[in-house]
Amino acid sequence: MIKKIAISGLAILVIAFLILHLYIYPSPPKFPIEDRTKPILIAHAGGAYKGKIYTNSLEAITSSLKNGYEFIEIDLQILSDHKLGGIHDLEQFNSITGYGEIPDNLSSKQIRDRKIYGELHPVLAQDINHIFNKNSAYLVTDKIEDPALLEHEIHLDKKRMLVETFSYTSYVNHVRYGYDYPMLCIGGEEELEHYWPLFITNKVRIITFPADKIIDSADKLQELIKKDVAIFAFSTDDRDLILKYGGNTVSGFYTDSTTYRDLYK
């Protein structure tokens, strides 16, 4: 009996929190998707370059823009001098730059002094600012969850930035910093259920979702699309999957090398 009362009390508290939240926090704006008949393609970690992926390199980003990508994802890590560097993680960066021992962290100078696969150039925040201020592409970020540092380092119109977050607290924090399009990373069906009240009330307007779980969750994802929740699936180059589910079930896909030319050839 006591256990049932405790469970009921907890359920009431959760419901009360959600109701209170609906009044306290305004809904972020809907992400503008002009053409819902075809999926948005996001160049994953800068996109592939000469068959190499996950480089976040200057060459990869430039190549993706030339290949028609209008959304470029870059992994951003906080460096030892409190700058931002385009690296997925230290172990991976060490590996692709030919270093064995994994340091605790690297400075922006150390990042700048390295070459990826002996020829490609890593990017820092100033490189990203230079690239994106010369075009109209969207910057999609991963890893970084410090909105104050992101604001300080990346000097772009916040309406051209999609910032991936990994908790609802972080999502709300980015909204408070003026980021219109934070994205809440959802790991699968269970998390979809957990956050469902926030989706259907448009408190969360954009999510990221695993591409390999789309088929099992297709009905729920389609329902969210109808509620004007944008969904970006990570990551795949499966052309059939992209063509079948793009637009009607998810809004877009992170891809390493699939371009619109490849998709509709």
**What string of pLDDT tens digits covers the 265 residues of the chain?**
565 455 555 656 655 555 555 556 667 999 999 888 889 999 999 999 999 999 999 999 999 999 999 999 999 999 999 999 999 999 999 999 999 888 889 999 999 999 999 999 999 999 999 999 999 999 999 999 999 999 999 999 999 999 999 999 999 999 999 999 999 999 999 999 999 999 999 999 999 999 999 999 999 999 999 999 999 999 999 999 999 999 999 999 999 999 999 998 8
Alpha-carbon torsion angle 202, 204, 208, 210, nearest 10 = -70
The count of structural domains within the chain is 1
pTM: 0.90
Read off the tokens for 202: 């448009």
- Residues with Cβ within 8 Å of residue 71, at least 6 apart in sequence: 40, 41, 42, 43, 137, 138, 140, 162, 252
CATH number (domain holding residue 29):
3.20.20.190
Q: Alpha-carbon distance 48 to 66, whole Å?
A: 12
Give the DSSP H/E element, type plus range, for residue 183.
Answer: strand 182-185
- 171: domain range? 2-263
Read off the tokens for 15: 């419901």
